[in-house]
Amino acid sequence: MPKGNDTSLWLLRIVGAIAGIGLAAGTLASSASAADDTTEQRLLNAAQEQDNWIHHHHDYTAQRYSPLNQINRNNVKGLHVAWTMALGGVEGGGIWSHGGLEGTPIVENGFMYVTDGWGSVYKIDLHGGTGKLVWRMDPKTDHDWAGAVACCGVDNRGVALWNNLVISHTLDGRLLASNKEDGKVMWERKVADPDKGEVVTGAPLVVKNLAITGVAGAEYGIRGWLAATDLKSGKEVWRTYTIPAKGEPGNDSWKDSYDAWKTGGGSTWVTGSYDPQLNLIYWGVGNPGPDWDSAYRPGDNLYTDSTIALDADTGKIKWHFQHTPNDPFDYDSVAETVLADVTVQGKSLKLALEADRNGFGYAVNRADGTFLWATPFVKQVTWTKGISPESGKPVEYDPSKPVQTYVAAVTPSRQNPHITSCPGNMGGKNWPPTAYNPDLKTWYIPVIESCNEADDKEVKPGDWKAREFFTGGGPVTKLPITGSVTAIDVTTGKVTAKFETKYPMLGGLLATPELVFAGHPSGEIYALDAKTLAKLWEFNTNAGVNAPPMTFAVDGKQYVAILVGMGGAWDKWFIESTKGLEKVPPSSMLFVFSL
């Protein structure tokens, strides 16, 4: 239920009632007002507001593509720092020594909204070629309580806009609605429960008048879910569990006799996408729990390692596509789903694209989940010999077996507890988002090229304890890890180019008509040619980049912005695989570039 008095809820309803028609792209405003309200119509037509970036993924398709082309392949070498701003949130808490930055800035009519790792929201005035802080909202997140069960870092990936409100999450499980004009918190409600190991790191997705929240915590044996909150009332409308209970469709894919589904994982910590014509929300679902001991949870373990499509109004799952049934590798499918329309051999296709941690990029029909193609985007895959062109499942998958072995020699099991597999458990791609160029029909993936050794440890009924890791083993030796940006032609499913990198790609991508922008954990920002992936420009921030770039225009000028501050799980558990990154200091900076 929302906190606060009746007056604040009354004000919220008034704000919703006076939502006006959004301003056209590029229109300037001196302050947030009724004319700046982020209406449902504007959210639906976000791609038409070329100067703005009003969704986490730019628009509902999650393509992270902007048509702005003032900065292009001919002049990108002239890109330079326009201004920077130091943010807070670098302090640690719980098991973490410091916070990090993984968010995507939101820009609307000359104002930016950005978060730090602890969920503080900053509003920045972008006019005049520099950045001026308007307000900062500190949600007073409980650092130690939430940080102790934040599996993979002190992170917050950003905000959403709705009418005259800024919608944000906190690591300790709250959904907040702040007034755009002054940052005052109008209401908040508890969505997740850190008492169970649940935390929230993803940005909200606003669809109609609903804010969709995903949850993290599979490593703590939570039961994953998505929750929809009515932004007019502050009340929950629906909650859909990604691990079905007894009597629900899919529960028969948990074939144990001790209710393993209750601690089945299936977290949803990366922001989804939405098709308004189909009224479907698309979301990636993470790994099963325990991560490694797949014999504890025999069966396919739906809906883990899946892309799911849900009715936006009811939360009912309409279809699912599972990538790695009975996953023994920690290859969760939490990645964003990119929506793209293409024509192949005269046939129009509505694609849903997902770059999976198992090292394969998938395309399915986004209306019904029918498999279309899959292709490896990493250089080395050892866990399977390939994906069936008919079913989309690994060729070794046997639905009659309760526990899958895939390539037995590299699959962790109670019989074969110590293995080396490729990709490693961080995946061929982790959470950092892909980008897609609709003109070139090219999909760009931030790749982690890795293998790792791992141990399986037997889990027994009764071993689960709240707020304690529930993984059934894990990686024990870190082998050298590199990366790449990889391009795929979505009309063929073929890899067309690779830009090799010394370190893994731990931040996401941005596509513009002629360029692809990327950040590197050793501090470099790159601009690559969209066709060839040749490097055209580079700037070293001298701090680790763990966030995706974005672009916007104000006062007739295009800018590229990125948050700089290495956080997440890498420096805690994987730093031995990337010699040199241990020297990169913590940071919390916003960099903005222009010509």
506 has a pLDDT exceeding 50: yes
Q: What are phi and psi of 364, to 5 degrees?
A: -130, 160
pLDDT value for 36: 84
Q: Is residue 400 part of a domain?
A: yes
- DSSP three-state, residue 309: strand
Question: Does residue 77 lie within any of the structural domains?
Answer: yes
Please, which residues bridge with residue 288 across strands?
A: 265
User: Would residue 251 count as lying in a domain?
Assistant: yes
Q: Which residues have CB under 8 Å from 153's CB, separation 6+? A: 96, 99, 100, 102, 117, 201, 567, 568, 569, 572
Average pLDDT of the residues in 7-32: 33
Does 137 fall in a domain?
yes
Whole-number pLDDT of residue 2: 37
Cβ distance 342 to 351 under 8 Å?
yes
In a domain, 195, yes or no: yes
DSSP-derived pairing of the beta strands 121-125 and 132-137? antiparallel
The number of beta carbons lying within 10 Å of the beta carbon of residue 14 is 10
Q: 199-218: per-residue pLDDT in tens?
A: 999 999 999 999 999 999 99
* DSSP character string of 240-269: EESSPPTTSTTGGG---SS-GGGG-B----
Q: How far apart are CA 540 and CA 253, in angstroms?
A: 48
Q: Are 541 and 525 in contact (CB under 8 A)?
A: yes
List, in order, residues 6 or more apart from 6 with CB less than 8 Å away. Answer: none
Strands, E assignment, 409-481: 418-421, 435-437, 442-449, 452-456, 473-478
pLDDT of residue 431: 96
Total number of domains constituting the chain:
1
Contact 222, 289 (CB under 8 A): yes
In DSSP terms, 106 is beta-bridged to: 113
Q: What is the pLDDT of residue 25?
A: 33
Please say whether the beta carbons of 231 and 210 come within 8 A.
yes
CB of 362 within 8 A of CB of 370? Answer: no
Confidence bin at 549 (pLDDT 50/70/90): very high
Is the pLDDT score of 137 beyond 70? yes
What distance in Å separates the CA atoms of residue 193 and residue 504, rounded to the nearest whole number? 32
What is the predicted pLDDT for the residue at 18?
32
Q: State which residues form the domain around 250.
A: 7-594
Confirm if 521 and 507 have CB atoms less than 8 A apart: yes
Contacts of 473 by beta carbon, 8 Å cutoff, 6+ apart: 290, 291, 292, 293, 412, 417, 454, 455, 456, 457
Task: Average the pLDDT over 1-18 and give the result.
Answer: 35
CA dihedral 263, 265, 266, 269 (to 10 degrees): 130
Q: What is the pLDDT of residue 446?
A: 98
Q: How far apart are CA 168 and CA 175, in angstroms?
A: 6
Distances (CA, A) of 405 to 202, 289, 329, 411: 32, 17, 11, 6
> 121 pLDDT exceeds 70?
yes
CA geometry: angle at 194 spanning 189 and 195, to 5°? 115
How far is Cα 43 from Cα 231, in angstroms, rounded to an integer?
A: 15
Name the nearest CA neighbour of 421 among 413, 499, 303.
413
- Is the pLDDT at 517 greater than 50? The verdict is yes
CA distances from 357 to 122, 249, 312, 423 (A): 32, 25, 26, 8
d(CA 432, CA 429): 7
CB of 20 within 8 A of CB of 39? yes
Helix (H, G, I), strand (E, B) or coil at 559: strand
Average pLDDT over residues 82-95: 95
Helix (H, G, I), strand (E, B) or coil at 17: helix
Residues written for the chain? 595
Domain harbouring 229, CATH code: 2.140.10.10
Please, which pLDDT band fits residue 571 given cuts at 50, 70 and 90? Answer: confident
Q: For position 568, what pLDDT does the model report?
A: 81
Please give the positions annotated as active site: 330
pLDDT of residue 61: 98
Residue (of 20, 187, 38) closest to 113 by Cα position: 38
pTM of the model: 0.94
Banded model confidence at residue 15, pLDDT cuts 50, 70, 90: very low
Q: Is 536 left (phi over 0), alpha (psi -120 to 50) or beta?
A: alpha
For residue 89, the one-letter residue type is: G
Residue range 515-532: average pLDDT?
A: 98
Which of 305-319, 400-414, 573-587 is the least confident region?
573-587
Residue 167 in any domain: the answer is: yes
Binned at pLDDT 50, 70 and 90, residue 156 comes out as: very high
Tokens 């919608």 sit on residue = 167
46-52's contacts with Cβ under 8 Å and 24+ in sequence apart are 49/22, 49/24, 49/25, 50/25, 50/26, 50/553, 51/25, 51/26, 51/107, 51/109, 51/552, 51/553, 51/554, 52/25, 52/107, 52/108, 52/109, 52/552
Burial class (CB in 10 A: 0-12, 13-18, 19+), 254: buried
Amino acid 118 reads W
Highest averaged pLDDT of the listed ranges 92-101, 156-165, 474-483: 156-165
The whole-number average pLDDT for the span 211-227 is 97
> What pLDDT score does 355 carry?
98
323 closest CA partner among 340, 337, 304, 339: 304
DSSP-derived letter for residue 469 is -
CA separation for the pair 155, 113 (Å, rounded): 16
